[in-house]
Amino acid sequence: MMPGGVTTGNTKKRAAATRSRRVDLARGLICGARHVPSPNHDARPAGVAPSLIVIHGISLPPGRFGGPWVERLFTNSLPADRHPYFKSIAGLRVSSHLVIRRGGRVVQYVPFHRRAWHAGVSSYRGRARCNDYSIGIELEGTDRRSYTDAQYRVLARTVRALLAAYPTLSAERIAGHSDIAPGRKTDPGPAFDWARLRAAIATSKRGARA
């Protein structure tokens, strides 16, 4: 937004991309996202389609937002010497399908038909190995700090786009990382408002039909 309330062309383009968010099934990519390929993925098991959405929270270094470090982690280029915390994670080979930044921008690292390495040892409703059948969405944030209005808005539209693209997904099968790996993971934490997400998904659904 420019001074005086004037909206720039780039802002208009980003807003239009968010409103028209949809999935390109042929490529497994969501339209309007910035695409940054991660090497950390492999094939899903034969015949397995995504049937679960997992919400995560992430910040690097912990509690700090912005910067290139999540992207560097997911592309195996995190410099261990740039922060003491990085020494403990620089060798990890992890990824997520999507990251939603604090301002609502979406970055995609892994196509949806591929298995991203986001869940680790996990189980959902008695079914283990959640990476096999899930789509991982990281929100830039922490367990205790509120996620942003833009993140809820964009997350809801993204979920609706995924539900429209993949019939095996359901609004009733959305879980937090802490739900599928209790005791090991805590994100997206108490700061994440699940009721707000559900309401936003329903609102987004009504808007799509209007």
140 is catalytic: no
- How many CB atoms are closer than 10 A to CB 73? 21
Q: Parallel, antiparallel, or unpaired: how do β-strands 52-58 and 134-140 relate?
A: parallel
Dig out the tokens for 59 from the structure.
């910040």
Cis peptide before 111 (omega within 30 of 0): no
The tokens 């009721």 sit on which residue?
A: 195
Q: At what angle do helices 149-165 and 194-209 cross, to 10 degrees?
A: 60
Here the tokens at position 157 are: 């539209």
Q: Give the whole-angstrom CA distance, residue 205 versus residue 119.
A: 27
Residues assigned a catalytic role? 138
